[in-house]
Amino acid sequence: MAAKKTRIDVSAPDGPLTDNPFAALAPQRDALPAGPAPEPKEPAQQAEAWRVARTRKGGWPLRLEKRSGGKVVTVLSQVTAGRDALLAALKKHCASGGRMTDDGLELQGDHVAKAAAFLDRQ
């Protein structure tokens, strides 16, 4: 036999709620100095600028490779400077994982069009 369900009593007197979690912060807010807000900190220096050599036909050195298990990888080669910064930016733009290799960068998935558009904009 199933146990009998008990109900929670929800009948309460009508009126405002009295438990305010922010009430303890009021004295600290009043103790703050008056005046303008502090200046925001400058963003960290950007990593070194990246450099990718174009192909002879003027395109980007992007290709698609199929790996074992049906995995697809987008490969960007001829990266000469700023590989870390470029990989981070491409991973963020394409919303995928990736890694550096000896001859270039790899992005997980088919991102040839997105990577080419990103490189054109930059």
- 105 has which bridge partners? 76, 100
Q: pLDDT tens, 52-63?
A: 888 888 888 999
Q: pLDDT tens, 83-110?
A: 888 899 999 999 999 999 888 899 999 9
Quote the mean pLDDT of the chain: 83
Task: For residue 43, name the pLDDT band (cuts at 50, 70, 90).
Answer: low
The CATH architecture to which 53-121 belongs is: 2-Layer Sandwich (3.30)
Domain extent listing, the chain = 53-121
pLDDT at 46 over 60: no
65, 111 contact by CB (below 8 A): no
